[in-house]
Structure 1
Amino acid sequence: MTDRWIELDGLVNMRDLGGLPTRDGGRTASGRLIRSDNLQDLTDADVTHLVHAVGVSDIIDLRTEVEVHLEGPGPLRRVESLTHHHHSLIAAKGEEDLDALAAKALAVPWSPDGTRRDASFWAEHYLGYLAARPDSVAAALRVIADAPGAAVVHCAAGKDRTGTVVAMALDVAGVPHEEIVADYVLTAERIEAIIGRLMSRPAYGHALSQQSIDEQSPKPESIEAILRAVDAGWGGAAGWLRDHGWTTSDVEGLRHHLTR
């Protein structure tokens, strides 16, 4: 699976979701859906490669308003041919301080009293995205379905929020759960480099300094839990989308876009 990495100078966790097997014997299409970490450090050469070689047309930003404000506009904002979509997966609750928002954004596994949470925390965190911001999850998937070129979905690390949206998209495409999980944990190959990039950022550094690399590494049970919950509650991501306003034709459109 590692040949799906897109190697650029300004990021460390970008890969194409093409080439994954589907339950009907097919494969997901390359150049349709790309997952990534923070896009702030892209070089001019990186931007040129993404636009002209990869064929990126749409950017789906899952970060909070605070993160976007602190980070400022990234290099891709200067490209007029790209369409940018902001769909935060974290519901703002009044005037939260930066550390609290960073803890939510990065799924920091410690509670307010300083104790460590167990592995179930991650699964609950991901399910919380669907419960608190179903509008953003559905909107992000709509962008993927309608994108004329490749859609890049990203957050900060490209792991938790991005992983949730990607898992939903791949489930609609008919990718078996074990393959979705395998893609999710592939981020572990780059986790040290991902954290290294974010540590210098004002939005994330303090929160990340209080935990280990292992605590941020993706665990299979985290994404397995969301897939099981969606399967049990709605018969899969397709049913979840229909319950949130999508028609059967809409769902089929996303599936065909990701596989044809």
Structure 2
Amino acid sequence: MTTVDVAAARAGGMCNLRDIGQMSASIRPGVVYRGDAPQDNDPPPRLTPWPPRTVVDLRSVDERQPVHPLTDAKIHHVQLLAAANPLLVARHVEEEGPQTLANLYVSMALHRAEQLVRIAEIVANEPKPVLIHCSAGKDRTGVAVALLLSAVGVPRAEIVDDFLLTNDNIDQITARIALYLGADPNETAFEANRPAHAVGADAIGAVLDVFEGHPGGTPKWLTDNGFSDLDALRSALLRQPSA
């Protein structure tokens, strides 16, 4: 059994954080970050600019702190799906198989359209940079970011590649979950669930099928669900063509 390095997790800060503008040639850097949950006393990450001016916190009430650690940012709580708490997700994946993630992601698209539209509105209109995060920065955050990228025309392969980068951080994610969500990192059951925190292309592909398969594609999925700021979203996210 591998030992989860909780001390390193405490010292290392956010472990699944990245600038989506560094993942795609068409997205502006320094505008939208995605990540796991920031915690009190985290060291500042190597992202410029930092800290974010706007935060979209996708966690449930039971997961989050009474006061968000990024006190200088405008915090938007958008509870995307309480059942996506990473401890619960890992347990379901362990018990029911990896298709659980695909089902969960599709459920967000089918039943949380209002919340997903709200995330797009915040990214389109609020001060930048914007940090989008949940607890682990993979499931709820992954679906929200996939929607944004797909809506502005980022190729599907790039969206999947960005999503899969989370797998490079599974050990650190596991340790952070142990540290901040109350799991015991020394329990065999917790260690057994470690692979279930991983993500696969099929899961994000399933929800992209929903968005892209909508008549008119992902942009029309957004507008049909009440979004009216496509131009603002494109302006916020897309790099400007060279003169």
For Structure 1 versus Structure 2, the TM-score category normalised by the shorter chain is 0.7 to 0.9
Could you tell me which residue of structure 2 aligns to residue 32 of structure 1?
A: 31
Could you tell me which residue of structure 1 aligns to residue 15 of structure 2?
A: 12
Alignment of 1:110-121 (within 5 A): 110-111=91-92, 116-121=95-100
Could you tell me which residue of structure 2 aligns to residue 88 of structure 1?
A: 79
Question: Residue 55 of structure 1: CA displacement?
Answer: 5.7
Could you tell me which residue of structure 1 aligns to residue 52 of structure 2?
A: 56
Q: Is the 8 A contact 1:14 1:36 kept in 2?
A: yes
Q: Is the 8 A contact 1:35 1:158 kept in 2?
A: yes
The one-letter code of the counterpart of 2:147 is M
2:173 is aligned with 1:182: no
Residues 146 and 128 of structure 1, relative CA distance in 2, 3 Å threshold: same
Residue from 222, 234, 237 that aligns with 1:255: 234
Structure 1: tracts of 5 or more residues without a match: 1-7, 92-100
Q: Distance in 2 between matches of 1:87 and 1:123?
A: 21
Residues 118 and 9 of structure 1, relative CA distance in 2, 3 Å threshold: closer
Structure 2: tracts of 5 or more residues without a match: 1-10
Output one character per residue of 1:91-114: Cα deviation in whole Å (capped at 9) or x when no partner: 6xxxxxxxxx5xx42252545xx9
SS at match of 2:130: strand
Output one character per residue of 1:147-191: Cα deviation in whole Å (capped at 9) or x when no partner: 221100000000000000000001112110010000000011111
The one-letter code of the counterpart of 1:198 is I
2:145 is aligned with 1:166: yes
Residue from 69, 79, 83 that aligns with 1:75: 69
Could you tell me which residue of structure 2 aligns to residue 98 of structure 1?
A: none
| Higher RCO, Cα 8 Å, sep 6+ | 2
Could you tell me which residue of structure 2 aligns to residue 197 of structure 1?
A: 176
Q: Distance in 2 between matches of 1:105 and 1:212?
A: 14
Residues 115 and 181 of structure 1, relative CA distance in 2, 3 Å threshold: closer
Q: Distance in 2 between matches of 1:130 and 1:225?
A: 10
Output one character per residue of 1:110-159: Cα deviation in whole Å (capped at 9) or x when no partner: 45xx9721222111101111222221111111111112211000000000
Question: Residue 211 of structure 1: CA displacement?
Answer: 4.0
Could you tell me which residue of structure 2 aligns to residue 66 of structure 1?
A: 62
Alignment of 1:92-131 (within 5 A): 104-106=84-86, 108-111=89-92, 116-131=95-110
Which shifted more, 117-126 or 30-39?
117-126
Q: Distance in 2 between matches of 1:243 and 1:119?
A: 30
Q: Distance in 1 between matches of 2:153 and 2:184?
A: 37
Question: Residue 15 of structure 1: CA displacement?
Answer: 0.4
SS at match of 2:53: strand
Residues 237 and 122 of structure 1, relative CA distance in 2, 3 Å threshold: same
Could you tell me which residue of structure 1 aligns to residue 3 of structure 2?
A: none
Residues 55 and 11 of structure 1, relative CA distance in 2, 3 Å threshold: closer
Q: Is the 8 A contact 2:94 2:196 kept in 1?
A: no
Q: Distance in 2 between matches of 1:62 and 1:117?
A: 24
Q: Distance in 2 between matches of 1:129 and 1:140?
A: 13
Q: Distance in 2 between matches of 1:125 and 1:53?
A: 33
Question: TM-score, normalised to structure 1's length?
Answer: 0.78
Residues 27 and 15 of structure 1, relative CA distance in 2, 3 Å threshold: same
Residues 172 and 115 of structure 1, relative CA distance in 2, 3 Å threshold: closer
Question: Residue 240 of structure 1: CA displacement?
Answer: 1.2
CA RMSD of aligned residues (A): 2.6
Aligned residue pairs total 226
Identity of aligned residues (%): 29
